[in-house]
Amino acid sequence: MSAPKVTAVAEASPAARAGLDVGDELLSLNGRRPRDVIEYHALVDDEELDLRVRRPGPEPGVPLELEVRVEKAAGEPLGISVESAVFDRVRTCDNHCAFCFIHQLPKGMRRSLYLKDDDYRLSFLYGNFTTLTRFTELDAERVLEERLGPLFVSIHATDPHVRAAMLRNPKGATSLRWLRVLLDGGIEVHGQVVVCPGVNDGAVLEDTLLTVLDRYPALATLAVVPLGVSRYSHEPDMRAHTSDEARAVCDTVTEWQERYLQVLGRRLVYAADEYYLLAGTDFPPAEAYDGFPQHENGIGMARAFERAFRGDDGAAHGVRPGFFAWVEGAPASGYRAPRLPRAAAAPGGPDPRPTTVLTGAYGARVLGPLLEGVPGVRVLPVEHDFFGGNIAVAGLLTGHDLARALAREPEEARYLLPDACLSQGRFLDGKTLADLPRAVEVVASDGRSLREALAGRG
């Protein structure tokens, strides 16, 4: 098990006063070595901390170990950031799902992108979905005792045979028993069904929604999302939805929302925006998303964006952020992390140049009607050549795709790019903004931010 490694020390903090420094490894805190940032945070809440620290010594390769005492007020932040969320080994996924997007990545990308986790701690911290196939009795005890919620569970199908076949893991037939344990224990859980045409749609999807009502009615929400297939998929049975199949899913979700409303008093299940785009139908009204509880999973993003862009609703949407939003030791990565600063208006007044908003094919179909008629502004849908297949969301645009599109665009224009396709300043293919042939302004991926960015032009 590795030790938490200090990556930053806040000036004038208790940690700085005690002499902690970047690069220090925290071998123990009050005699305990934390397994993860969750346990770490609980330990650093104490008023007095006795730390055993390892740091580089004056001789290369010969570290020093020393004792450091920190005195602070109870609950006062220690004032450091640590390198990772999990200090023991991340629990990797032992499923072999045909629809797993990680299996559809090309070779040669950053090593971290190929890590498949099935770790309930990363579900809690980052909103990653877990199948619960590696969940244990000890895990359940900890989650219930420490109230580690919300959690996010991949359900896919409640029929044990279908689920085991989809996960290619016999434990898939029984692991949803843990979902019942979590819900019975009062843990907030959000579910997901990735629909694979001909596998878990149609009657199987109907059965899943019926079983949720019968066995898991305490589920907070259930997202129904379409299968994504890249050009690198080696699974012949995995294919994109047809328009008719997408329309059937939308209809099924609508019917079950009415049933859930009658029985539970809430809709519970929601279809991803992609389904309505694929079906060629209108999105449901904003009120039908009940506060957008699975906004980050592509549920109601279009309506939330539209409302914020028009100034109807400037509030942030998404699941309750839970622990990750406030724990000081959580690393700045994952989908809830800040990506880049908001774009600001150019100094000296509005930018007079024509403006191009870069986005994916799906994003263009949402932005087009909103920006239609705005003088000097156009939307440029960028083709997903890097991943290919049916990939069309802005969040999976790569530097390769953008460079190819921008090379054909004039230099004198202004270009706006949503931050959803960047993580710590890098695209999925490892390229950065500096690799693009045109200067690009990064804008936070919400309607208000785009409205503010466009207001900075003449």
Contacts of 84 (CB under 8 A, 6+ apart): 2, 4, 5, 37, 331
The DSSP H or E segment spanning 191 is strand 189-195
Judged against a pLDDT cut of 80, whether residue 408 lies above it is answered with yes
Residues whose CB falls within 8 Å of the CB of residue 62, separated by 6 or more in sequence, listed in order: none
Within its chain, how far is the Cα of 76 from the centroid? 29
Give the pLDDT of residue 458: 39
Q: What percent of the chain has pLDDT over 90?
A: 71
191 burial type by CB count under 10 A (0-12 exposed, 13-18 middle, 19+ buried): buried
Q: 78: closest CA among 131, 123, 157, 24?
A: 24
Task: Tell me the C-alpha to C-alpha distance, in Å, between residue 258 and each of 22, 114, 295, 399.
Answer: 55, 40, 21, 43
The CB-side HSE value for 160 (13 A sphere, CA atoms) comes to: 7
What whole-number distance in Å separates Cα of residue 250 and Cα of residue 274?
A: 10
Q: Which pLDDT score, from 0 to 100, does residue 313 have?
A: 64
Cα–Cα distance measured from residue 304 to residue 306, given in angstroms and rounded to the nearest whole number:
5
- Coil vs helix vs strand at 24: coil
Indicate the DSSP class of residue 20: -
For the stretch 197-231, pLDDT in tens is 999 999 999 999 999 999 999 999 999 999 999 99
Annotate 272-301 with b (16+ C-beta within 10 A) or e (fewer): bbbbbbbbeeebbebeebeebbbbbbbbbb
Angle between helices 301-309 and 447-455 (to 10 degrees): 40
The reported pLDDT for the residue numbered 79 is: 92
201 C-beta neighbours (distance < 10 Å), count: 23
Q: What's the pLDDT at 321?
A: 42
Q: Which of 6-10, 157-161, 329-333, 420-424 has the lowest mean pLDDT?
A: 329-333
Cα dihedral across residues 19, 2, 81, 435: positive or negative: positive
- The burial of 184, by beta-carbon neighbours within 10 Å (0-12 exposed, 13-18 middle, 19 or more buried), is given as exposed
Q: How many angstroms from the chain centroid is the CA of residue 65?
A: 38
What residues contact residue 362 under an 8 Å CB cut-off, 6+ apart?
273, 274, 277, 392, 393, 394
pTM score, whole prediction: 0.88
pLDDT in tens, 273-316: 999 999 999 999 999 999 999 988 899 999 999 999 998 865 55
Which pLDDT value is given to residue 349?
A: 58
- Tell me what pLDDT residue 359 has: 96
R_g of the chain computed on alpha carbons: 24
